Amino acid sequence: MSKHGNQLAFAVEGLIEEGEAFRRLAVERAPRCFDVIVIGGGQSGLSVGYHLQKLGLSFVILDASARIGDVWRKRWDTLRLFTPARYDGLDGWPFPGPPDAFPTKDEMADYLESYAEHFQLPVRSDTRVTRLSREGERYRVEAGAERFEAEHVVVAMASYQAPNVPNFSKELSPGIVQLHSSEYRGLSQLQPGGVLVVGAANSGAEIAIETVRRHRTLLSGRDPGELPFSIGGFWSRLIAPLLFRVVFPHILSIKTPMGRRARTKMLRSGAPRIRQRRTDLEQAGVEWAARTSSAKAGVPLLADGRTVEVRNVIWCTGYSSGLSWIELPIFDDDGEPRHVSGLVENEPGLYFVGQHFQHSLSSTMIHGVGRDAVRMVQALHARLLGRLTLEDETLELAPNEASKRG
């Protein structure tokens, strides 16, 4: 073949290779289409998936973690659930083990992983959603280079996604170890010296009762109050069925005046401590301190004007919703999603499950996410069938599901 012939052959071959690469790229970037996309593979997402599967709908559950249950595995080592095992199972499969025991965070993680395997739920792990938008009547979900499309999207995530740490934390001395509660695993992360735990709600109290065993520990912040009984005691076991089956899901809900007042207070001020009582903390040696307001000369400054010389600070200062990847006009002035029991009024194909006090106090509890999942899946199914009207926007459980929950 002549020199010009070889050049032509190479050029044609190059064009073919480039064309094939473009075709593969186009195929890879073509969106995967489903009836429903569920974002989040924790207890909320798996509960939604269980009920979608019963309807025979095509769906996928997208989860950022490498392994189902990792959100639980990454909490501090000694964490135990606040509810006994009899109330920690999801729909269709009870939690294994003694019913009155309080499972560890690893036992909960393994249960969720087994649950997904048992029901063969289509979870795609290592898939972090980076954008949710809408094109016409369909929603587009992007996760890196992957794209997914559906008419319905369920954001099945708790309100606690992005750790909140005050800006003045940057003014503390670099010699102070600083950890958010989401980063704290155990005492080995701390250096010798005092510990300031900022935030006196559940996480702060649980961590303080652990750190005080080896370190002088100050617990800083407003006291949110506590339950009037021990969760592991006789009275707790006696009244637990009433609380979990009646009070939390029905009385303390957005449908009752008492529930609406409780919701407003809890969203503003937080929930009372569940396990650690103030007397228990004080007897263990935890020192109560005023709110941490700023930094002075590289150390924490309290609202009462005192500075505290500590070598470790653990920020138990909560989370923000972490939903900035949702590019839809659904947020209020505080950056929180506007919804009624999980239904978004101006986005009829978008739903939430797992939000704090979404419909009732039990909405963020493991035993309660299934109830909200049923409600959202019922609404979704009704919309698919064209039957949902504005008057139906706060659906109740179907009789068969309600009876299963007592």
Strands 138-143 and 123-124, sheet pairing = unpaired
| Average pLDDT of the residues of the chain | 87
The Cα–Cα gap between 93 and 111 comes to 10
Same domain, 55 and 178: no
pLDDT recorded at residue 404: 43
Same domain, 221 and 305: yes
Structural domain containing residue 210: 164-227+272-318
Q: Is residue 373 part of a domain?
A: yes
Q: Is residue 238 part of a domain?
A: no
Structure tokens at 167: 């800006």
Q: Answer yes or no: are the C-beta atoms of 40 and 153 closer than 8 Å.
A: no
Structure tokens at 374: 């049923």
Same domain, 174 and 311: yes
Same domain, 290 and 351: no
Structural domain count of the chain: 2
The crossing angle, in degrees rounded to 10, of helices 105-118 and 43-55 is 20
Alpha helices, DSSP H, located in 190-256: 202-211, 234-242
- Contacts for 395 with CB less than 8 Å, ≥ 6 apart: 375, 378, 379, 382
Q: Answer yes or no: are the C-beta atoms of 349 and 330 closer than 8 Å.
A: no
The predicted-structure confidence for 279-297, as pLDDT tens digits, reads as follows 999 999 999 999 999 999 9
Q: Is residue 233 part of a domain?
A: no
pLDDT recorded at residue 90: 96
Q: Is residue 244 part of a domain?
A: no
Same domain, 208 and 77: no
The predicted-structure confidence for 22-35, as pLDDT tens digits, reads as follows 444 444 568 899 99
Q: How many CB atoms neighbour CB 242 within 10 A?
A: 11
Same domain, 174 and 289: yes
Confidence of residue 74 (pLDDT cuts 50, 70, 90): very high
What's at 387, amino acid-wise?
R
Q: What is the DSSP letter of 167?
A: G
Structure tokens at 231: 């969760």
pLDDT recorded at residue 321: 81
Has residue 400 got a pLDDT over 80?
Answer: no
Supply the pTM of this predicted model. Answer: 0.85
Residue holding tokens 């949710």? Answer: 132
Confidence of residue 165 (pLDDT cuts 50, 70, 90): very high
What mean pLDDT is predicted for residues 297-317? 97
Name the residue among 229, 183, 224, 192 with its Cα closest to residue 75. 183
Same domain, 141 and 184: no
3-state helix, strand and coil shares in percent for the chain, rounded to the nearest 5 = 35, 20, 40
**Cα maximum dimension of the chain:** 96
Same domain, 197 and 337: no
The Cα–Cα gap between 40 and 208 comes to 30
- Of 318, 352, 386, the position where a domain reaches its end is 318
Has residue 121 got a pLDDT over 60?
Answer: yes
Name the residue among 194, 193, 161 with its Cα closest to residue 180. 161
Name the residue among 201, 179, 161 with its Cα closest to residue 326. 161
What mean pLDDT is predicted for residues 194-212? 97
Name the residue among 130, 125, 119 with its Cα closest to residue 52. 119
pLDDT recorded at residue 249: 85
User: Is 311 buried (19+), middle (13-18) or exposed (0-12) by CB count in 10 A?
Assistant: middle
The Cα–Cα gap between 164 and 307 comes to 22
CA dihedral 273, 225, 44, 252 (to 10 degrees): 140
Which long-range contacts (C-beta less than 8 Å, at least 24 apart) are formed by 238-244? 240/84, 240/87, 241/406, 244/83, 244/87, 244/362, 244/365, 244/367
What mean pLDDT is predicted for residues 137-166? 92
- Contacts for 347 with CB less than 8 Å, ≥ 6 apart: 134, 328, 330
The predicted-structure confidence for 243-264, as pLDDT tens digits, reads as follows 888 988 889 898 999 989 988 8
The predicted-structure confidence for 97-114, as pLDDT tens digits, reads as follows 899 999 999 999 999 999
Reduce the DSSP state of residue 220 to 3 states and report it.
Answer: strand
Q: Positive or negative, the Cα torsion across 349, 354, 358, 362?
A: positive
CATH of the domain at 198: 3.50.50.60
The predicted-structure confidence for 337-394, as pLDDT tens digits, reads as follows 999 999 998 898 999 999 888 888 888 889 899 999 999 999 999 988 885 543 444 4
Q: How many CB atoms neighbour CB 196 within 10 A?
A: 29
